[in-house]
Structure 1
Amino acid sequence: MPETRNAPTAGLPAFEELKFRGDPLADAVIADLVRSGKTGVVNEVLAHFRDNDQPVPADLPESVRRYLVVTDVPPEWADLDRVAGAYEFFVDDGVHVASVLSFGAMVNCYAQPRPSRVLSLTHRLNQPHRRLSETSQFVLNMMGPAPFGAGGAFVPTIQKTRLIHAAVRYFITRSGEWDPAADGVPLCQQDMLGALLIFSVQVLDGMRRIGITVTEREAEDYYYVWRVTGAMLGIPADAMPETLAEARELNANVVEATYGPSPEGIELTRNLLRLYETMIPGKAFDGVAAAMVRQVVTPEVADWLEVPRSRSWSRVVGAGTRLMRLLERSEDRSRTATAVLDKAGSLLLGGSVRTLTNGQPTALTIPAGLREKWLATGVCPAQRAPSRAEPETR
């Protein structure tokens, strides 16, 4: 069915209006669970609800069951053949996507003062490992050959994420520490749309900054997968740009205009950099993570968030970027070049697999088909997939 649109794809007034919109469908579920005192039971049941084709658990409150059924399918306008077309991009560059998202997109999110304040109010400033793990798993599930179809795990991931966002809205709104008239809705649709553009448009820009070649077709397909994902996360379809060109325009003219310094953003970035330093072995490499962040984000954002400067590491990272561009040109012809190029991209995602959460290993699950292809080329950051018997660490 052709997609219909009835609102402008860009423009400050429309974007500003989104600041006062939540997610009525998910918000109603959380309100019902709080009233009935069943949040603990739902958390326990949903912890085992992981696959797209898994039946909705029977032992759930009716409001949750209805929500899971209604949000189980992508929007009517979604072209799943086009979604599948992005899989080859993920096979070739999925590790780089995850790395740039971690080094750049997460930091750009911290350049948004209001969402950073939300994180501070949920007491997650000192849990960068958890946010990195959750974000990495979300993106890995998106990279499957049919992320919205049978055999994947992306739909339950989206459904749970949407409920988590609704829970945050519920409790922050009632905390007495948030002024809805001035600040809008916590984790509003403006924040969601901004995050979508950061994870799509800005990741593509960041990949190019470190020397990764992305064709326009690959970029369009990558953005399209995110647009379908955004619709399933509850972002109004008419608020999302239809084309990558429109998305770039909205990102440049509106989303980046929300960037600025904040105490919360600075602390979030500082804690994230500390985490990266623990993931890169040896004190001799301290400073390389900050230099990578400065390579991927703009100098203004890096300065706002007080990302440390290092002339020596900046020169090394800059030289590495130039080397990456040279290696990319020979990637299809040289197995050695491919190995060197992809090893750099797999370091951070491999670190995410080994990150500790409350003393327990965080097991990221890589889609089976993607994992096999990454293993075949020697770039898979996890050498085995966790079994279904292993507990999910959150």
Structure 2
Amino acid sequence: MIDAQDFEALKFHGDPLADAVVADLVETGRIGVVNEVLAHFRDNDQPIPRDLPESVRSYLVTTDAPPAWADLDRVAAAYDFFVDDGVHVASVLSFGAMVNCYAQPRGSRVLALTHRLNQPHRRLSETSQFVLNMMGRDPFGAGGAFVPTLQKTRLIHAAVRHFITESGEWDFEADGVPLCQQDMVGALLIFSVQVVEGMRRMGIAVTEEEAESYYYVWRVAGAMLGIPAEAMPETLAEAQQVNARVVEATFGPSPEGIGLTRDLLDVYEKMVPGKAFDGVVAAMVRQVVNPEVADWLQVPRSRGWNRTVTTGVRLMRFLERSEDRSKLATSVLDKAGSLLLGGSVRTLTNGQPTALNIPEDLREKWLAAGVCPAAHSAAADLASRAPAAPA
């Protein structure tokens, strides 16, 4: 299992494979052309696009499959968990995991230096799509869309490293490589281990088997994002230990983290109508994340809303215990989770429908259960794509 010394050393490691591709594209001036081609590369079984530089084609071939050790049956086991609790995963990811990312000062500086990445509505939309693609029935097989998502994300990370390094605004000796492997391991554990912990804080029951399956999918995804195998904990128990002893030790306050958190809260407060409910978003964040992290990032306090949310969590725990026996309890839990993600689908891009694409199998399951977060925005989305009526 990785220790604190090994974790610290990861600050100085990037991703040689993807970094070499980006360096080649910068040198030959073809980044724009490649971006245009890859924008239409979305499905696992889609042929590699033509007219790509050899460095990109070779990279796409090399990264086209999960690692040899990956057990796809274990990956499939996470699907049922996400069918049942995907909306809750998305809610806790949005309220807690995003904020915990901002508690990492070096990572927050990267986001602040990269204009495209410090826009909370864009990051939420892209992160949501990443998780939706990951949690389909067969994310790495035919019909899925996760492999191109991973390949493009890895290249984006490499591009960020390149341009921040070239900007002259980064202290390599003090901070290591921007978007280094330490950042990648930290993000992986925030989006896996810490999301499960946040769900349990909110009163959502997650069994050990479900948590193991959810973490395993993230571990496979981490390997495909270029994280070395020796840097990733093999089991959920090891991941929990690394998270508690090493990753959370990197948390702290920073001006960039405070600003990013404020922007994130602003996005969510716009989703809640009226001023009377402005404090509920901050209270939800404080329920999900560690109180010290919330204080570092200056998440506002509201005694009234904190009490209301705490009472709501107690109710959620009661309902969760009775979920198997009560259809009403199940309905309350699902609606509470889907409200946030449903709002996000409509508002993450400043009021415009987003390009979030829920995998068809998940959409059918969620529609049948009455919890599909995009159900109410589908008409608006279709309307936005329809041609304008003649004057």
Same fold (TM over 0.5): yes
Q: Quick check: 1:308 aligned with 2:300?
A: yes
Q: Quick check: 1:21 aligned with 2:8?
A: no
SS at match of 1:287: helix
Kept in 1: contact 2:117–2:123 (CA 8 A): no
Kept in 2: contact 1:125–1:264 (CA 8 A): no
Kept in 2: contact 1:210–1:296 (CA 8 A): yes
Q: Quick check: 1:90 aligned with 2:82?
A: yes
Q: 1:290 aligns with which of 259, 274, 282?
A: 282
After TM superposition, the structure 1 = structure 2 runs for residues 235-384 of structure 1, keeping only pairs within 5 Å, are 235-357=227-349, 360-383=352-375, 384=378
Q: 1:216 aligns with which of 197, 208, 213?
A: 208
The range that moved more, 85-94 or 349-358, is 349-358
Q: Aligned-pair distance for 1:351?
A: 1.9
Paired residue type of 1:366: I
RMSD: 1.6
Paired residue type of 1:233: L
The range that moved more, 90-99 or 330-339, is 330-339
Paired residue type of 1:367: P
Q: Aligned-pair distance for 1:14?
A: 0.8
SS at match of 1:283: coil
Kept in 2: contact 1:208–1:214 (CA 8 A): yes
Q: Aligned-pair distance for 1:282?
A: 2.4
Aligned counterparts of 1:154 and 1:99: Cα–Cα separation in 2: 21
SS at match of 1:265: helix
Aligned counterparts of 1:30 and 1:72: Cα–Cα separation in 2: 18
Aligned counterparts of 2:48 and 2:237: Cα–Cα separation in 1: 38
Kept in 2: contact 1:109–1:115 (CA 8 A): yes
Which residue of 1 is the match for residue 112 of structure 2?
A: 120
Aligned counterparts of 2:135 and 2:251: Cα–Cα separation in 1: 28
Aligned counterparts of 2:213 and 2:231: Cα–Cα separation in 1: 19
Aligned counterparts of 1:319 and 1:66: Cα–Cα separation in 2: 55
Which residue of 1 is the match for residue 30 of structure 2?
A: 38
SS at match of 1:361: coil
Paired residue type of 1:270: R
Q: 2:95 aligns with which of 103, 109, 126?
A: 103
Aligned counterparts of 1:337 and 1:100: Cα–Cα separation in 2: 19
Q: Aligned-pair distance for 1:94?
A: 0.8
Paired residue type of 1:376: A
% identical equivalent positions: 81
Q: Aligned-pair distance for 1:124?
A: 4.6
Paired residue type of 1:201: V
Aligned length in residues: 382
* TM-score, normalised with respect to structure 1: 0.94
Q: 1:190 aligns with which of 168, 176, 182?
A: 182
Aligned counterparts of 1:30 and 1:281: Cα–Cα separation in 2: 44
Which residue of 1 is the match for residue 389 of structure 2?
A: none
Which residue of 2 is the match for residue 3 of structure 1?
A: none
Aligned counterparts of 1:335 and 1:375: Cα–Cα separation in 2: 16
- Kindly tell me: are residues 356 and 260 of structure 1, through their superposed partners in 2, closer, same or farther at Cα, counting changes over 3 Å? closer
Q: Aligned-pair distance for 1:363?
A: 2.1
Paired residue type of 1:96: H
Q: Which runs of 4+ in 1 moved over 6 A?
A: none
Aligned counterparts of 1:126 and 1:53: Cα–Cα separation in 2: 32
Q: Quick check: 1:148 aligned with 2:140?
A: yes
- Write 1 or 2 for the structure with the bigger share of helix: 2
C-alpha offsets along residues 157-212 of structure 1, whole Å, 9 cap, x if unaligned? 11110000000000000101001111100000000000000001100100000000
Kept in 2: contact 1:147–1:153 (CA 8 A): yes
Q: 1:170 aligns with which of 148, 154, 162?
A: 162
Q: 1:69 aligns with which of 58, 61, 68?
A: 61
Q: 1:229 aligns with which of 221, 225, 228?
A: 221
Q: Aligned-pair distance for 1:13?
A: 1.2
Q: Aligned-pair distance for 1:283?
A: 2.0
SS at match of 2:205: coil
C-alpha offsets along residues 104-163 of structure 1, whole Å, 9 cap, x if unaligned? 000000000000000011125751100110111101111101111111111111111000
Aligned counterparts of 2:64 and 2:118: Cα–Cα separation in 1: 33
- Kindly tell me: are residues 390 and 35 of structure 1, through their superposed partners in 2, closer, same or farther at Cα, counting changes over 3 Å? farther
Q: 1:130 aligns with which of 122, 129, 137?
A: 122
Q: 1:199 aligns with which of 182, 187, 191?
A: 191
Paired residue type of 1:34: V
Which residue of 2 is the match for residue 179 of structure 1?
A: 171
Aligned counterparts of 1:65 and 1:212: Cα–Cα separation in 2: 43
C-alpha offsets along residues 236-293 of structure 1, whole Å, 9 cap, x if unaligned? 0111000111001100000000000000000000000000001122222111110000
